[in-house]
């Protein structure tokens, strides 16, 4: 169990760093505290026991103790959401579910490097995402109502993911993640058909070699995600911040702060990029980024 705990701690450490790293203009960071920032922080901390359990379940599947189809996914996924909601009075599945799935996949794949052993990692992700036991999938969907994320529940209902459809159509967890990812991009990290996780993680590790500082790397990765989505009239400030290496000096940090204020003034928010950044930072921590 010690190894499982270490994996979970590594993932959680990376996620917390990804969330706290400042300044991420238009995103979640600790210099611009908000209700959502506090909620996500609480969710991450409150989910640690479930993350350890997810890694352990992956190990047990790999060792043949249980079958991938025999895991009580409803209890794992719905359980963590129910507990973080109880502890934090809010739940953010777009962070918590992908993080637990990634822990499960690392336990199952037993990879030392996600990038160097990407085939093993993807095979494990395919295995857990292909589960289509309707009762487990239904429990995950239904929990969105209980934790007051009714917009997620209604989004799934709108595409026909009803109880009858779950029974008749063999809808998988991956199908659910794909539908949710159209609005909550954190789920795209665990969409095994798209395999976006590898491109994002590769980019993060390349930036880590360049910046040689995890906080600066996180900010640079976040900026790489959003810079094409920033309006033309703000692009000069983005280019100035990039030339200044973002948070490399106090002068650079001042530019980033001004950019953050400008984006917020214009109601340009990029929570979707925060979701991706937090989850990739979690994986990068496991991969060895420092």
ω into residue 23 within 30 of 0, thus cis? yes
**Residue 32 in this model has a pLDDT that exceeds 90:** no
Q: Which domain holds residue 17?
A: 2-287
**Residue 160 in this model has a pLDDT that exceeds 90:** no
Q: Which pLDDT belongs to residue 290?
A: 77
Q: Which pLDDT belongs to residue 206?
A: 97
**Residue 272 in this model has a pLDDT that exceeds 80:** yes
For the segment 109-135, the average pLDDT, to the nearest whole number, is: 95
Q: Which pLDDT belongs to residue 166?
A: 64
Q: Which pLDDT belongs to residue 90?
A: 98
| SS3 label, residue 240 | helix
One DSSP character per residue, 123-178 reads HHHHHHHT---HHHHHHHHHHHHHTT-HHHHHHHHHTT--HHHHHHH---HHHHHH
**Residue 8 in this model has a pLDDT that exceeds 90:** yes
Contact between residue 235 and residue 268 where contact means Cβ atoms under 8 Å apart? no
68-97 pLDDT, tens digit each: 988 999 889 999 999 999 999 999 999 999
Q: Which pLDDT belongs to residue 9?
A: 97
Q: Which pLDDT belongs to residue 135?
A: 87
Q: Structural domain tally of the chain?
A: 1
**Residue 37 in this model has a pLDDT that exceeds 70:** yes
Q: Which pLDDT belongs to residue 95?
A: 98
Contact between residue 177 and residue 185 where contact means Cβ atoms under 8 Å apart? no
Task: Centre a 10 Å sphere on the Cβ of residue 267 and count the other Cβ atoms it contains.
Answer: 7
For the segment 168-182, the average pLDDT, to the nearest whole number, is: 91
Nearest to 128, CA basis, from 184, 58, 177, 195: 58
Task: Output the average pLDDT for the chain.
Answer: 94
What is the pTM assigned to this prediction?
Answer: 0.95
Q: Residue 157 and residue 175: Cα distance in Å, rounded? A: 13
Q: Which pLDDT belongs to residue 161?
A: 80
For the segment 260-286, the average pLDDT, to the nearest whole number, is: 96
211-245 pLDDT, tens digit each: 989 999 999 999 999 999 999 999 999 999 999 99
**Residue 191 in this model has a pLDDT that exceeds 80:** yes
CA dihedral 129, 132, 134, 140 (to 10 degrees): 0
């Amino acid at each position: 169990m010690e190894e499982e705990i270490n994996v979970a701690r590594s993932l959680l450490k990376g996620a917390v760093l990804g969330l706290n790293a400042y300044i991420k203009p238009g995103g979640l960071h600790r210099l611009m505290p908000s209700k959502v920032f506090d909620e996500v922080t609480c969710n991450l901390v409150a989910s640690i026991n479930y993350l350890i359990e997810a890694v352990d379940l992956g190990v047990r599947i790999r060792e043949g103790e249980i079958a991938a189809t025999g895991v009580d996914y409803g209890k794992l996924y719905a359980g963590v959401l129910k507990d973080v909601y109880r502890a934090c009075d809010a739940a953010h599945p777009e962070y918590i579910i992908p993080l637990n799935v990634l822990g499960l996949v690392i336990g199952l794949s037993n990879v030392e490097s996600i990038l160097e052993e990407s085939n093993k990692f993807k095979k494990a992700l395919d295995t857990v995402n292909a589960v289509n036991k309707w009762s487990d999938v239904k429990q995950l969907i239904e929990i969105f109502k209980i934790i007051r994320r009714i917009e997620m529940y209604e989004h799934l209902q709108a595409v026909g993911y009803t109880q009858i459809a779950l029974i008749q159509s063999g809808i998988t967890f991956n199908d659910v993640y794909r539908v949710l990812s159209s609005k909550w991009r954190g789920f795209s990290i665990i969409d095994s058909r798209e395999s976006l996780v590898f491109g994002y993680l590769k980019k993060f590790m390349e930036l880590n070699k360049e910046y040689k500082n995890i906080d600066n790397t996180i900010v640079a990765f976040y900026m790489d995600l959003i810079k094409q989505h920033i309006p033309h009239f703000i692009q000069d400030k983005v280019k100035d911040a990039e030339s200044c290496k973002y948070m490399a000096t106090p002068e650079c940090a001042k530019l980033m702060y001004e950019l953050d204020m400008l984006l917020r003034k214009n109601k340009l928010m990029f929570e979707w990029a925060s979701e991706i950044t937090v989850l990739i930072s979690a994986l990068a921590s496991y991969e060895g980024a420092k």
